[in-house]
Amino acid sequence: MTVRLRLQRKGKPKRPYYRVVAIDRRVKRDGKPIEVLGQYDPMSEDNKFNVDAGRVKYWLKTGAKASGTVAVLIKKNQVNEDCK
C-alpha cells in the first residue's frame, strides 16, 4: 500500500475548501482517508493552511509521498524543512 498526502475537496460549488489527508494512492479523491492531517482554505484572504506538523513529518518519515500541491503548501508554510 502506497500512502500519499493529498487534498480532499469539501465545501460548496464555487466555494471549495480542502482537507489534507493521508490516503492510499489507489483510492478516489474523495474516498475514505487513513488520517485527516489538517485543512486548507484557498478562498480566504490569507489562504489558511493548518496541519498537524508532527503527523505530517511522521507520514513523510514512514515513506508517504506528498502530492505536488501539498508539497508546495508544506514548503511554503515551512512545516517540514526536508520536504521535496
The domain segmentation of the chain, as residue ranges, is 3-76
- Rounded Cα distance between 21 and 40, Å, is 11
CATH topology (fold) of 3-76: S16 Ribosomal Protein; Chain: A; (3.30.1320)
Task: Kindly list the strands in the beta sheet with 3-12, ordered across the sheet, starting from the edge strand earlier in the chain.
Answer: 48-51, 35-41, 15-24, 3-12, 65-66
Q: What is the pTM of this model?
A: 0.83
Q: Let me know: does 50 contact 22? Beta carbons within 8 Å.
A: no
What's the pLDDT band for 80 if we cut at 50, 70, 90?
low
pLDDT in tens, 15-29: 999 999 999 999 988
